[in-house]
Amino acid sequence: MSARIFPTAQDAEHAFYEALERCDLEGMMAVWSEDDEIVCVHPAGARLTGQDQVRESWARIFAAGPRARLSIEQQVAISGMMLAVHSVYERFIIPEAKPEAQPAPIVATNVYLRTAAGWRMIVHHASPAPAQPQATPHESGPKILH
Amino acid sequence: MSARIFPTAQDAEHAFYEALERCDLEGMMAVWSEDDEIVCVHPAGARLTGQDQVRESWARIFAAGPRARLSIEQQVAISGMMLAVHSVYERFIIPEAKPEAQPAPIVATNVYLRTAAGWRMIVHHASPAPAQPQATPHESGPKILH
């Protein structure tokens, strides 16, 4: 589907959120594993599995075009040889909206798999979080298991 | 905290849901990694990190005692050497309630880490799903990466 190679899970995550901010469907799907064993849960949504469901959902979400800037915050990263798990807060910032009218943050769990073609996303689980996330006491660097 | 050893991620998952159904706080915390790099998102909740926040949240949830049976359905499992990721639907069934009054299903992403003391949970991300989950076309067995 794409010749893009992500040497690290972090590279894949950057590309994922860049595509999400730009509403770039091809850029988005280039991040996902080409395997059909992929899982995507959009905020308040059902679980989607497989390339077709995941691609169709992003096409629908992106149809309106970019409307917000996106800030990724408070990452917790757990990295193995083959799998990496990142937990982040996604904050969508609508430039023309007042602070109190900004959307609630989203908490996301992202799982990446090391494939023959570099690191790819296999799970994205996003859900709305309360407006004021609790402080995370552990702002240490990523945990490497190997 | 506990001498329980879970030889597989699936064993840890069984113990997790058994503790959840029984509102068994010690059984629940025996499943979690003793590492402070743990992440828990309850349905519609903020992200909790670390042993203290996670334990305190389960204590609060369990305070009312068991009220529902729990059915775990449509598991998708991706397993590496050190990390395993399971996606499931959690269905809470209140025995005295009518079918139309049953709670909406929950979709959960569970991540397990192979530690020196067996497999332990490191991430639980749960969020409410629409009442009718879409059929998953891929009901194959777990994917083993190694």
Interface predicted TM-score (ipTM): 0.88
- CB neighbour list of residue A22: distance below 8 Å, 6 or more residues apart: A66
Q: How does pLDDT run across A51-72, given as a tens digit for each residue?
A: 999 999 999 999 988 889 999 9
* Burial class of residue B77 (count of CB atoms within 10 Å of its CB; 0-12, 13-18, 19+): buried
Write the DSSP assignment of B64-95 as a string of letters. T----EEEEEEEEEEE-SSEEEEEEEEEEE-T
Please list every residue in chain B whose beta carbon sits closer than 8 Å to the beta carbon of residue A109.
39, 41, 109, 111, 123, 125
The CA-based diameter of chain B, rounded to the nearest angstrom, is 45
pLDDT band per the 50, 70, 90 thresholds, residue A75: very high
Q: Which two tokens stand for residue A3?
A: 């010749």
Residue in A with minimal Cα distance to B79? A83
Query: Is B106's Cβ below 8 Å from some Cβ in A?
Result: no
Closest CB to A127 among B81, B127, B133: B127
Instruction: Find all residues with CB under 8 Å of A6, minimum gap 6, and list them.
Output: A12, A15, A31, A118, A119, A120
For B23-74, what is each residue's pLDDT tens digit? Answer: 999 999 999 999 888 999 999 999 999 999 999 999 999 998 888 999 999 9
In A14-132, beta strands by DSSP E: 39-41, 47-49, 69-79, 83-93, 106-115, 118-128
Residues of B with Cβ-Cβ distance to A82 under 8 angstroms: 80-83, 145-146
Q: How many CA atoms does the CB half-sphere of A31 hold within 13 Å? A: 27
Contact B47 A143 (CB under 8 A): no
Question: In the structure encoding, which two tokens stand for residue B97, read together?
Answer: 């309630």
Does any CB of chain B come closer than 8 Å to the CB of residue A37?
Answer: yes
Question: Would you call B78 and A109 a contact, using CB atoms and an 8 Å cutoff?
Answer: no
Asked whether the beta carbons of residue A83 and residue B87 sit closer than 8 angstroms, the reply is no
Cβ partners under 8 Å of residue B119, min gap 6? B6, B7, B8, B9, B11, B12, B84, B112, B113
With beta carbons under 8 A apart, name residues in chain A contacting B50.
Answer: 137-138
Count of C-beta atoms within a 10 Å radius of residue A69: 11
How much is the pTM? 0.89
Of B14, B19, B12, B10, the closest CA to residue B142 belongs to B10
